[in-house]
Amino acid sequence: MTGSWLEARGAMKRGAVALALGLVGVALPAAAQSTPVPGLYYGDWYEEKNRDEDAKPRELTLINYFFTRLSMTNEVGDPAGLRGVALGPIGSPTGSAVSVEPGRSAYFIEQRWIPVIEYSPFFVDGLASFRAQFEVDFLWGRSANTIGQNEGGGFNADQVNIQTKNVNVAIYPTRAPAQLTLLVGTQPVYDTYFDPTRTPLSDIIRTGYKLAFLGSDATGLSVFSSYKGHARLSLMPLGSAQADRAARNDPRLKYIWLAMADYAYPVRPNTNVGVSAWYLRDSTKGDAYAFEGLVKSGPSSVGLPGFVGTARFPIERPTGDVFWLGAHFNHNIDFRLGRFGASGFVMYNGGQYRSDTPDTSVLDTLDISGLSANLELMYQWGRGPADLVTLEGMFTTGDDNLADERYTSAFTLNQYGLPGAVWFNHKMLILFPFTGTVNNYTGAVTDISNQGYGLRAGIASAAWDVIPNKLNLKVATGIATSGATPEPWTGSEVRRGRYVGTEVNAELRYHLRYLMTAGVHAGYLFRGSFYDGSPTVRSDPFAVFTTFTWYAF
């Protein structure tokens, strides 16, 4: 096999790894391939050297992603509410109601399989690619002989459990994807400016807003360009409802629309500075669903906050607008220009919702005004990319009265999704949810608003390739407090403090073969005064996970 073909194959594998890595987590990124479009580059590839004995570039590519996790923990959540899925912050009385009590522990095994298909036929001459991605998730031993997502691991199995992740067409008008890409259909939607179908996951989670505000899938239209700088325009209908069908005999669909505009400019090699402006319009009056028929979405939802860790607002049938204005930077995040890397952002969110209920007994209007900021510093102390020391801080303003007409903390797309934002580049296992997951996504803080009370968090980690590219050890610690004093827990008069807790953890990963990894992960959270008076968090949370991951293509 020639050196050129090995190089091309290596590029294909790197792109495939980027795609597969993004599949880890709950509705998490499908970062994708950086391989050339065969129709456009086939001539150059063939003429570069005599390749009569080499395989031709494939029109059809299949990537298989398999992941399984064994969990042993005293964080006990109820998976019945979302048909096999447990989500939400520790101590929440609603949602999955994750409790931590002395003498009570749980173990479970979860499994995920995701096939990713890309088809780039030669006859389109580099003009387009089709992609489809599906997902099969379940807990071992739960449910069989039925139909439904996130279940089917029981005796006999025989369950229909196929979830649509992404089905889209990428159109390249200039036949150069880096210059211009039109992405049409169901696609990954993130708060970064990069095209998720052609960008490594490591870039996605350290650029833009790191999935802290938006990290999921949606159907719509996006335009990406890296011709001069990096630009993204997106228009997505996030939900719909027939909000006035019964009351006003109006069967028209009312929508939740999200429009996004982002631009980043390379001020110097490997250093980018960007700005963002997003706008959300919600006309569904609280009748759209985050989980169809079960959990409604939007600021009036009584069920959603318990699953995703957002604030709960006392407003009925709201319509309104939210906007986000932000700036971000990243420097040398892949360490190509030295040992030091950094990234961060500042984001302001504002807007207003208005109640459509005449003479409402709760809020007529809800004004939104919140500020968020993040900074991550990285130092590559050894020879490989896994020899790394990091220091990161996350800040969001807090609200000490969630019942009044003014909300002063972060407003994320967790208000509309299950989940809709999944900041996971935090290196924590309990303080923030462990990234490697399928059906269980729980932690002390699951939304950067921290249930509306705000967040001040600091995280430090150190990693060492004990055996280069084979055995990696990482240790980390993190501490978090709220920005405002939380209200007492339901049924309790005990005054709560702001200190959420401090986590210490360690992770050991062994690469069995190329793209096949086994890991052991353990963490302990010293809970703080934030849980004083909680009827369900009466012990320090701990967890031990074993994972097995294999990317095959």
Determine contact, residues 532/496, Cβ cutoff 8 Å. Answer: yes
The number of CA neighbours under 13 Å toward the Cβ of 537 is 29
**Rounded distance between C-alpha atoms, residue 288 and residue 127, angstroms:** 37
211: three-class secondary structure by DSSP: coil
Core vs surface per residue 216-233: b (16+ CB within 10 A) or e: bbbbbebbbbbeeebbbe
Residue 367 amino acid letter = D
For residue 487, CA distances in Å to 362, 402, 533 come to 19, 9, 11
Per the listing, tokens 């996030």 go with 238
* β-pair partners for 548: 68, 518
Residue type present at position 76:
V
Closest CA to 214 of 278, 132, 133, 291: 278
CA distance 462 to 451: 29
Show the CA angle centred on residue 242, arms to residues 239 and 244, nearest 5°.
135
In one letter, which amino acid is 207? T
* Residues 279/321, Cβ–Cβ less than 8 Å: yes
Each of the 553 residues of the chain gets a pLDDT tens digit; together they read: 444 333 333 444 444 444 444 444 333 433 333 444 445 555 555 555 565 666 677 899 999 999 999 999 999 999 888 888 999 999 999 999 999 999 999 999 999 999 999 999 999 988 999 999 999 998 999 888 888 888 888 898 888 899 999 999 999 999 999 899 999 999 999 999 999 988 988 899 999 999 999 999 999 999 999 988 999 999 999 999 999 999 899 999 999 999 999 999 999 999 999 999 999 999 999 999 999 999 999 999 999 999 999 999 999 999 999 999 999 999 999 999 999 999 999 999 999 999 999 888 899 999 999 999 999 999 999 987 789 999 999 999 999 999 999 999 999 999 999 999 999 999 999 999 999 999 999 999 999 999 999 999 999 999 999 998 899 999 999 999 999 999 999 889 999 999 999 999 999 999 999 899 999 999 999 999 999 999 999 999 999 999 999 998 7
**37 phi, psi to nearest 5 deg:** -75, 120
Q: Vertex 415, ends 409 and 421: CA angle to 5°?
A: 85
How many CB atoms lie under 10 A from the CB of residue 318? 23
Question: Do 431 and 503 meet the contact criterion of CB atoms below 8 Å apart?
Answer: yes
Q: In whole angstroms, what is the distance from residue 465 CA to residue 474 CA?
A: 9
Pair of tokens at residue 23: 């599949």
* Helix, strand, coil abundance in the chain, percent, nearest 5: 10, 45, 45
Kindly write down the DSSP assignment for every residue of 278-319, as one continuous string: EEEEE-STT--EEETTTEE-STT-SSHHHHH------BSSEE
**Rg, C-alpha atoms of the chain:** 23
| CB-based contacts of 66, cutoff 8 Å, min separation 6 | 111, 112, 113, 548, 549, 550, 552
| Cα 151 to Cα 157: distance, rounded to the nearest angstrom | 9
List the domains of the chain with CATH numbers: 3-552 (2.40.160.100)
The letter for the amino acid at 214 is: L
The whole-number pLDDT of residue 8 equals: 39
Amino acid at position 422, single letter = V
Cα distance between residue 143 and residue 155, in whole Å: 8
Q: Residue holding tokens 């003009």?
A: 127
* HSE (side-chain half, CA atoms, 13 Å) at 23: 30
Cα distances (Å, whole numbers) of residue 167 to 114, 118, 119: 13, 10, 12
Q: Which of 312, 316, 319, 345 is nearest to 331 (CA)?
A: 345
Q: What is the maximum alpha-carbon separation in the chain?
A: 79
Is residue 402 left, alpha or beta, with left meaning phi > 0 and alpha meaning psi from -120 to 50? alpha
Which regions of 468-540 does DSSP assign to beta strands (E)?
471-481, 499-513, 516-527
| DSSP labels, 76-121 | B--TTTTTS-EEEETT-SSTT--BB-TT--EEEEEEEEEEEEEE--
